[in-house]
Amino acid sequence: MQMTFRWYGEGNDSISLNKIRQIPGIKGVVWALHDIPVGEIWPVQRIEEVVNQAKKYGLNTDVVESVNIHEDIKLGLNTRNKYINAYKETLKNLSKFGVKVVCYNFMPVFDWLRTDLFKEMEDGSTALFFDAKKVLSLTPEQVVRDMEENSKDFTLPGWEPERLKDLQDLFDQYKSVTEAQLLENLTYFLKEVCPTAEQCGIKLAIHPDDPPFSIFGLPRIVKNKKDIQSILSAVDSPSNGLTFCSGSLGGNPNNDLIDIVQSFINQIPFAHIRNVKHFEDGSFIEASHRNEDGSLPITGIVNTLFARNFKGYIRPDHGRHIWDEVCRPGYGLYDRALGAMYLQGAWDANVSLRNRSLEKINFQNI
Ligand code: DNO
Ligand code: MN
């Protein structure tokens, strides 16, 4: 396992690389060129710049999150080949700098969605909240406006304001796209791109839908075990992988997270681990990483990864906003650093248990 930490780049993140390197155990940053418009090729010089910045602090840049997918690819339009070719070029450029994993998602229109970005908690912290009732009373425009207005001037990952300007238009385009059609469009993309990714030594890792159910009638195809099975078996390639995200899949209490890790362990190059707390009406709040603070079996997930000899990358996912930190929603320093430590503590407990049993064998053999 290699512990990593998401970083939004120089001038675009409230957290410096110097601070990140002081978190024990962090080996690399999970990064992206957030200002390059979706569908454009990432220039070599820009990639090199980030790689060199991270290198100065002893951090690797093996994982990119995300190279976003142009809407025309998701919609299966005739124009998609142009964007698929650009995607391949970006992969080739990334491989020149040793990038190993590229996370992406296939969610129509918008990436992750919440009704509250800074929901106040009893202890004075704030956290990302999805209110299942509230979302029903809002239009997509209202949700988008709310999220953009309340993000405290930080850009939100996957939310390109330019693209979201014509929301109604985007929704109209998806009216005729069924889930089966969307899966076909994903399969088309993967068939095209996986051979290039293989040549580049890059694993593509699809991120689950967040939350893992349809919103505003849009099709969603990465919601549960069955969906993941369909995607991973649609194209047979070592580069066709999954980003296991406990918090996204865990938005649906029916998803058995440990079973999902067990079932797809060989196709998971990257894991996001965080906790959420469920409410009876389907709402959920993002909690601290600790088991007891939420509804998800965080240490059970870590134990399973350990037992299956997981060699991939992990990052603490979103955190709460604590200790008065002013930060991008979900991406403060403090709670994610606590998360990284909790996950490593759980991992190390497994290491010492294993060592203890090895010691016992040695002892008995003497
Ligand atoms: C939000 C993130 C997502 C994620 C993308 C991956 O904080 O979990 O934006 O990075 O969906 O493509
Ligand atoms: Mn995630």
**Is residue 194 among the annotated active site residues?**
no
112 close to ligand 1 (CB < 6 Angstrom): yes
Position in ligand 1 atom list of the atom nearest CA 243: 6
**Is residue 210 among the annotated active site residues?**
no
Q: What is the ipTM of this complex?
A: 0.96
d(CA 302, CA 269): 14
**Is residue 245 among the annotated active site residues?**
yes
Asked if residue 206 lies in contact with residue 222, where contact means CB atoms within 8 angstroms, the answer is yes
Catalytic annotation, pick one of 13, 72, 317, 335:
317
Q: Which of 245, 202, 208, 158 is nearest to 61 (CA)?
A: 202
Position in ligand 1 atom list of the atom nearest CA 107: 11
Q: Which residue has the tokens 């020149």?
A: 96
| The pTM of the whole model exceeds 0.90 | yes
Query: What residue type is assigned to position 206 of the chain?
Result: I
**Is residue 327 among the annotated active site residues?**
no
d(CA 240, CA 274): 23
Which residues form the domain of 96?
A: 2-365
Domain of 266, CATH number, reads 3.20.20.150
Query: Which residue is closest in CA terms to ligand 1's atom 7?
Result: 157
How many structural domains comprise the chain?
1
Asked if residue 249 lies in contact with residue 273, where contact means CB atoms within 8 angstroms, the answer is no
Burial class of residue 189 in the structure, from the number of CB atoms within 10 Å of its CB (0-12 exposed, 13-18 middle, 19+ buried) = buried
207 close to ligand 1 (CB < 6 Angstrom): yes
Quick one: which ligand is closest to 156's CA? Answer: 1
Asked if residue 318 lies in contact with residue 125, where contact means CB atoms within 8 angstroms, the answer is no
Q: In sequence order, which residues have a C-beta less than 8 Å from that of residue 67 and are 6 or more positions away?
A: 32, 42, 87, 90, 91, 94, 102, 104
| pLDDT per residue as tens, the chain (366 positions) | 999 999 999 999 999 999 999 999 999 999 999 999 999 999 999 999 999 999 999 999 999 999 999 999 999 999 999 999 999 999 999 999 999 999 999 999 989 999 999 999 999 999 999 999 999 899 999 988 898 899 888 988 888 777 777 888 999 999 999 999 999 999 999 999 999 999 999 999 999 999 999 999 999 999 999 999 999 999 999 999 999 999 999 999 999 999 999 999 999 999 999 999 999 999 999 999 999 999 999 999 999 999 999 999 999 999 999 999 999 999 999 999 999 999 999 999 999 999 888 777 665 555
157 close to ligand 1 (CB < 6 Angstrom): yes
Provide φ and ψ at 43, rounded to 5°.
Answer: -70, 145
Gap from CA of 29 to ligand 1 centroid (Å): 15
Gap from CA of 240 to ligand 1 centroid (Å): 18
Helix 80-95 with 179-200: angle, nearest 10 deg: 30
d(CA 259, CA 78): 38
**Is residue 331 among the annotated active site residues?**
yes
